[in-house]
Amino acid sequence: MIQINCIILSSIAFILPNVAATCCHDGGNKSENNLTDTLSLQTIQKIPDDIDGGMCQLYLSDHDKNTNNPFCITDMGEILYIHVNGELNKLRQDSLFSDSCIQYRNDKYLMKVYFQKQEEKDDERYDIKGYCKIYSTDSLHVYKHSFIGVCNW
């Protein structure tokens, strides 16, 4: 378990080309990395049943990637899972702003995922890098965190 003095969520939806993150307009005067509530982020131990086939797994570090401890799993489409405060949260794709930015939400969180790099490893696997911004729906604050990930089908 990772204890963080802010929100951490993240994800990925489907394979995207090598583009810089330039979309997902944030608007407003939100204060980055200034959430007052402490949230606990846990790794996802079991792939959720409704993810069948292709998926992306996101990691906070190389160590997490090497030990297969993702903090986020997505079905390369419309569903994203993240485990926060002991609860597995399911978010749905809200908007696709461009090839470099996808937005997800549920009643507790809004998450914007920015893709910065994609590297094809073979016909069925891509490594990805980027960052996400996580907004608590009951707060005016935002937390930004980088990720690395692997997408397979």
Residue 131, beta-bridge partner list: 114, 146
State the pLDDT at residue 7: 28
The pLDDT value recorded for residue 143 is 73
- Output the pLDDT for position 20: 32
pLDDT of residue 86: 82
Beta-sheet pairing, 31-32 with 141-152: parallel
Residue 85 CA to residue 16 CA, distance in Å, equals 30
- Series of mean pLDDT values for 10-residue runs along the chain (153 residues): 32 33 46 51 86 88 92 88 86 81 91 88 91 80 84 87
Residue 39: what pLDDT? 61
Is 21:101 a contact under the CB 8 Å cutoff?
Answer: yes
139/27 Cα distance (integer angstroms): 14
